[in-house]
């Protein structure tokens, strides 16, 4: 009888362990929640070049400034300028390319990132200069449709598919450069000059902290007679 009771107790304990294991196996892992993503797209802008214009117009310069700002913020790969090959204003467009390249360089874009190209514009009178580059657009998860089921009826003890949607949707809306959702950015080079200054001070037995002026004091001011 005692052996029977021990056997029943062991079976009940084993069943409890199995049920606990089942609960633990259905917990979300963190990678199973919705994630924001990004897809590559082509940014494109253009303007026509009038051979009668003496250089870039104010409107064209404003457009180039907008292109430069967008490229510096979210552009990847080369910034391609394509001219209308075979158009009546082909020579004027080529001259405008030189001015546009100089303008972009003055806006802080490296010469090596500015590429050139041509497209067939035979028969056109005033062909357009086309500016294009690759940028990324953030995408919220497709399963985050805002609908919720009755969570009181989740008998399989699994997490709801909408868990994590708020974070994923907010991240897709706020990220500065959506490419960061695809891959991390390259690290910028360190400040070797500052590093060498600290090392030289350490070797000379000097303090390696930055100098602070009296204006940076953290002393609390006293009001009245100081009592």
What confidence score (pLDDT) does residue 19 get? 47
Express each pLDDT in 139-195 by its tens digit. 988 878 777 777 677 677 777 777 888 888 888 989 999 999 888 888 778 778 878
What confidence score (pLDDT) does residue 25 get? 37
Is residue 29 included in any domain, yes or no?
no
What confidence score (pLDDT) does residue 44 get? 96
Is residue 83 included in any domain, yes or no?
yes
Question: Which segments in the chain show pLDDT lower than 70?
Answer: 1-31, 151, 154, 214-227
Residues 6+ apart with CB under 8 A from 158: 26
Query: What predicted TM-score, i.e. pTM, was given to this entire model?
Result: 0.64
The count of domains in the chain is 1
Is residue 217 included in any domain, yes or no?
no
Is residue 170 included in any domain, yes or no?
no
Residue of 3, 179, 153 whose CA lies nearest to 76: 179
Are 127 and 49 in contact by the 8 Å Cβ rule? The answer is yes
Is residue 212 included in any domain, yes or no?
no
**Domain CATH code at residue 78:** 3.30.1330.60
What confidence score (pLDDT) does residue 58 get? 93
- Secondary structure (H, E, C), 23-59: HHHCCCCCCCCCCCEEEEEEEEEEEECCCCCCCCCHH
Residue 63, domain extent = 37-139
Is residue 154 included in any domain, yes or no?
no
Is residue 86 included in any domain, yes or no?
yes
Is residue 124 included in any domain, yes or no?
yes
């Amino acid at each position: 009888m005692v052996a029977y009771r021990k056997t029943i107790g062991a079976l009940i304990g084993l069943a409890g362990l199995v049920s606990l294991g089942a609960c633990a196996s259905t917990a979300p892992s963190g990678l199973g929640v919705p994630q924001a993503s990004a897809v590559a797209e082509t940014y494109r802008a253009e303007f026509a070049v009038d051979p009668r214009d003496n250089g870039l117009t104010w409107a064209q310069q404003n457009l180039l400034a907008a292109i430069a700002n967008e490229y510096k913020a979210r552009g990847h790969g080369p910034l391609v300028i394509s001219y209308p090959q075979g158009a009546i204003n082909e020579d004027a467009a080529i001259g405008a390319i030189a001015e546009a390249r100089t303008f972009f360089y003055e806006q802080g874009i490296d010469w090596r990132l500015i590429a050139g190209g041509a497209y067939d514009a035979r028969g056109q009178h005033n062909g357009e200069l086309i500016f294009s580059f690759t940028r990324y657009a953030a995408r919220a998860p497709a399963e985050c449709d805002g609908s919720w089921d009755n969570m009181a009826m989740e008998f399989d003890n699994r997490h709801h598919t909408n868990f994590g949607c708020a974070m994923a949707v907010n991240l897709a809306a706020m990220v500065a450069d959506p490419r960061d959702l695809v891959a991390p950015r390259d690290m910028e080079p360190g400040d070797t000059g500052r590093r060498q200054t600290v090392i030289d001070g350490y070797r000379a037995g000097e303090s390696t902290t930055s100098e602070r002026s009296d204006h940076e004091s953290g002393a609390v001011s006293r009001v009245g007679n100081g009592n």
